[in-house]
Amino acid sequence: YYTTPPPAMDGAERRSPDVVGRITQRLLRGTRDAKVFLSGHVGSGKSTELNRLAQVPEIRRRFEVLTFRFEAQEWTSLDSSQVLFRLSHELFVHAQRRFPNAELGNSSKILRELDEVLYGPAGLSSKEGTASAEINLLFFKIRNDLKLTDSFRRKFRDFGESRRSLLQDLLRHVLEAIEEALLRETPANAPAREMLVLIDDLDKVRGPEEQREIFETNLAALLAPRVRIVYTLPTAVLFGENRAEVRALVEHLYPVRILRKAPETFVPEDAFDPERFEFFADAVRKRASEALFADEAIRLAAVYSGGVLRDMFHLLRESILIAQYNNLSDVDAVTVRDAIRAVRLKESAGLYAQDITALRNVHLSHELGSVEERRYLDLARVIECYNDRVWFEANPLLWSILKPPARSAGDA
């Protein structure tokens, strides 16, 4: 079903690698300390690109690949210490499953120390036992308490600030055990495969304080592990003021361009740029019968999505529900317009007057008015666009409610 996006840059004389190609080269040419951040608008396909990366033949030959994602319960309270802990846990489980005879004893000792710090001298584990089931119980107990208990999260955060080296030691010992296991299974005179970790949904951390703690204050903690890692990154972090360290490591997915700059109108169809429409039509045709969606229905869904594929398919799914309810055999433009109105109603529910003003100014100027307005990127209220430079546009679904109210004769 995958549809190759059109080239991002107009006027280029040579083809450029796509995002997966660029990340592949970074990983293959880099050392085991290499880190890459994959950024992109909400719904732009970061998870899809990570899945594609994991299947690249050179990646599979060279690396032992582990992919995991942060769960929805973790997004609102995640911090750098929890990131390191989850990374250690996922690697520990992977080592147990993939290398049953891996030497994980040093990791067990550190976990018992962590157990005593967090749960007191009694702890959860015995002082003699080294059973893997006991260690797994401790991992899952900590994970569960981090997801459910605010007081435990505060305790873990305090622990991370004062004893972060313990978490780093835990991660180091797990990685050493995996490296030794990979070396043992390597044929003589052949290079050993190395570990590669793909971490998804870290971009779902949208609170400004949480983003600052992870990607600014403690960015070094994400860069320190001696293993190649690809992290997803919140869009607002990429467009922040002082993220030079992050930008040097970022590969970014832009929405496919379907709109031109059009500050003179609040009707998205007036801003339609037809050059890349065939990409959207092809993406739909690969997934549905050609008779199901009229071309105009696809065009409207693409325009009002602002080029974000997830949003386009969301509009088309809502259109199918309306068509089914009305016993229609296909989806036409009228049905999509009804779906657009229904989705707009949901999307506009949390907007205040100051949000309307800020988003109207983005539409008129194609710029963010302040650093604080970066949050609109993570909330999908604003879309990042591009020609030869990056510019910003309010989500097309909202344009009609951003239009200034008409002035009456008495206001003149």
7 CB-near residues (< 8 Å, 6+ apart): 15, 16
Find the range with the poorest average confidence among 11-15, 57-61, 110-114, 262-266: 11-15
The reported pLDDT for the residue numbered 114 is 84
Place of tokens 């594609």: 52
C-beta of residue 381 within 8 angstroms of C-beta of residue 311: no
CB atoms within 10 A of CB 296: 13
Rounded to the nearest angstrom, the gap between the alpha carbon of residue 276 and the centroid of all alpha carbons in its chain is: 24
Answer yes or no: is pLDDT of 126 > 50: no
Answer yes or no: is pLDDT of 18 > 80: yes
Q: Parallel, antiparallel, or unpaired: how do β-strands 228-233 and 35-40 relate?
A: parallel
Answer yes or no: is pLDDT of 352 > 90: yes
Answer yes or no: is pLDDT of 346 > 60: yes
In this prediction, residues 227-245 reach a mean pLDDT of 87
Share of the chain above pLDDT 70, in %: 93
Run of H or E residues at 390? strand 390-394
Residues 90 and 170: their CA atoms lie apart, in Å, by 12
- Secondary structure of residue 7 in the 3-state scheme: coil
Residues 19 and 6: their CA atoms lie apart, in Å, by 12
Answer yes or no: is pLDDT of 80 > 70: yes
Answer yes or no: is pLDDT of 85 > 90: yes
Residues 287 and 312: their CA atoms lie apart, in Å, by 13
Q: Parallel, antiparallel, or unpaired: how do β-strands 382-386 and 390-394 relate?
A: antiparallel
pTM of the model: 0.89
Q: How confident is the model at residue 159 (pLDDT cuts 50, 70, 90)?
A: confident
CB atoms within 10 A of CB 377: 23
Instruction: State the chain's mean pLDDT as an integer.
Output: 90
Q: How confident is the model at residue 128 (pLDDT cuts 50, 70, 90)?
A: very low
* Sheet containing 228-233, strands listed edge to edge, beginning at the edge strand earlier in sequence: 63-69, 194-200, 228-233, 35-40, 250-253
pLDDT in tens, 135-155: 788 888 898 899 888 999 999
Q: How confident is the model at residue 122 (pLDDT cuts 50, 70, 90)?
A: low
382 CB-near residues (< 8 Å, 6+ apart): 359, 362, 368, 373, 376, 392, 393, 394, 395
Answer yes or no: is pLDDT of 347 > 60: yes
Answer yes or no: is pLDDT of 134 > 80: no
Answer yes or no: is pLDDT of 227 > 90: yes
Residues 268 and 366: their CA atoms lie apart, in Å, by 14
Contacts of range 310-317, beta carbons closer than 8 Å, 24 or more positions apart: 310/42, 310/43, 310/44, 310/45, 311/43, 311/380, 311/397, 312/280, 312/283, 312/284, 314/343, 315/339, 315/340, 315/343, 316/284
